[in-house]
Structure 1
């Protein structure tokens, strides 16, 4: 059985908080649900910062900018600045510019925020939005297969796209037939949890393009390590004195494991304690990476340790 998955008592919580300088929080399901903050979350975040802890907010949502998240946090009562937010939209643009050293433009499956982040980094892109109407021809498959491609495109980036179509799938696949074309995904979350149910997430679009192109996307968001690498560069945080707090085992907790961080699962969101225990009891080392170091019923359980 893998170690970890220990419920945080007040004394143990005090020890953990004393041993860290920085706390990384997922947002939806951890700090809020929909438009309502989790009870005690606002007080926790504000008190942590009043006591000198550094707090950052991590999201796989590519449809909102740092500024938009900063505004939502402040509207809910959290003390937060846009530079404390790390999301897949700005990090994808940074990766293409700084890590991949992209030459050329991007074929983008994604929305206006993702397009704006690319443009902020001076990266030209096409494909975002509903797309042009098809012109009359011998048939849709022949039209899509014969459509001219832009020779300037050097990367395909996939984020959440409410206008995703078969035509976009065809176009992305054709660009990716060139092995030199970079294939990037903001995240691979397959479900967006919403009140009353969920809807397919970005991961469903990524899987479709991976299957069609017989290629695997490089993922920017959780559970990848890239967002933490961005924080280390921008803010100089020390991973050994950092803890990750999240509600999803396959993104938040796995990212923490991949980065060598201690992790705390909160049970107010997607994943359950039963799922964590099942991973813990497994004989698979890969599943052990999904086991949190600690768990709490809610982030509010951390508050008494700050008194």
Structure 2
């Protein structure tokens, strides 16, 4: 795999486009240099670097932002070496944030899961889309009720800031489901929030679209990830599947708060990060790496989650932005590069 990865990751282009919405702006690829050797490619296999070059890379950032699913763990299993790598960053004095589009848990639950899997983490270091939804609505002074097509993670974060909601859990399909009446809708609802909902159903889509028929009703989505990272051949559709369905039946577009969109970027900027001294680690180019590119962070793509070798080869061939700065098979491989 190491040899194949080395072949895939050699790109000679000096410039690649940075994407902001539909506007493409050229940006110069960052160079890593040691003893006059320049790596000018947008995708560099860090396994090909010398120990001095790896050390220079480690010295080039003060803050580490990392995705969780597919980078640190899959389901309830830590990816080999990931905890050691993250804890090593902390030992070096790096500031850590866990930035996840997963909306199914509250921050304290994510921190507990991370700790149980060997990571050092506190709730304050977790930036989840469930928390972002509550943070956003509280920030705009929202006082109405939320119809939530999502899970308890969002519901609990809304409750924590005093925002009422309903909709979590099964909404059973009745034989005469098309006979739903306006009286079944709650007149206090002023926003529809769509996150991951394992109990999604036709009645839920009907209610969401009916609330959104009012232009005054806010339409918010946690993220648009296509699928969850999953070991094996089973595909687990992600939140993007539900968001697109509600957008279709409501004929409206959602305000998406998670990676790589502007609200999460603004939140991170409010934390006082120095973009040039920040590293974003992820397993997806269209969320994690795109966020890093938009924010001016350095980026590290790992292939332990969604992105695989075949997709990376296509990325290299097509030179399709956003392109990561450096790549590793998995995060834990970083430690093997600095060992004597």
With the length of structure 2 as denominator, give the TM-score of the two structures: 0.81
Partner of 1:102: 142
Q: What SS does the aligned partner of 1:119 have? A: helix
By how many angstroms is 1:62 displaced? 0.7
Partner of 1:88: 129
Out of 210, 230, 249, the residue aligned to residue 267 of structure 2 is 230
Superposed CA offset, 1:135-183 (max 9, x none): x9xx431x22544422221110001111111111011101111112111
Partner of 1:27: 68
How many pairs were matched up? 297
Out of 156, 160, 178, the residue aligned to residue 192 of structure 2 is 156
Partner of 1:267: 303
Partner of 1:72: 113
Partner of 1:288: 321
Give the alignment of 1:157-176 within 5 angstroms.
157-176=193-212
Distance in 2 of aligned mates of 1:306 and 1:229: 37
> Structure 1: where are the runs of 5+ without partners?
none
Partner of 2:241: 204
Q: Do the aligned partners of residues 46 and 306 (structure 1) sit closer, same or farther apart at CA in structure 2, a change above 3 Å counting?
A: farther
By how many angstroms is 1:306 displaced? 7.9
Q: Do the aligned partners of residues 162 and 35 (structure 1) sit closer, same or farther apart at CA in structure 2, a change above 3 Å counting?
A: closer
CA contact (8 A) 1:280 1:288 kept: no
Partner of 2:216: 180
CA contact (8 A) 1:58 1:86 kept: yes
Distance in 2 of aligned mates of 1:15 and 1:78: 24
Distance in 2 of aligned mates of 1:104 and 1:113: 19
Out of 129, 138, 148, the residue aligned to residue 169 of structure 2 is 129
Distance in 1 of aligned mates of 2:153 and 2:73: 22
Superposed CA offset, 1:52-87 (max 9, x none): 111111111111111111111111211111111111
By how many angstroms is 1:120 displaced? 0.7
Q: What SS does the aligned partner of 2:215 have? A: coil
Q: Are positions 1:195 and 2:231 aligned together?
A: yes
Partner of 1:42: 83
After superposition, the CA RMSD in angstroms is 2.1
By how many angstroms is 1:227 displaced? 2.5
Distance in 1 of aligned mates of 2:75 and 2:144: 38
By how many angstroms is 1:232 displaced? 3.3
Distance in 2 of aligned mates of 1:181 and 1:71: 35
Q: What SS does the aligned partner of 1:167 have? A: helix
Distance in 1 of aligned mates of 2:101 and 2:332: 23
By how many angstroms is 1:231 displaced? 3.3
> Structure 2: where are the runs of 5+ without partners?
1-12, 17-40
CA contact (8 A) 2:173 2:203 kept: no
Out of 42, 45, 50, the residue aligned to residue 7 of structure 1 is 45
Q: Do the aligned partners of residues 113 and 33 (structure 1) sit closer, same or farther apart at CA in structure 2, a change above 3 Å counting?
A: closer
By how many angstroms is 1:247 displaced? 0.9
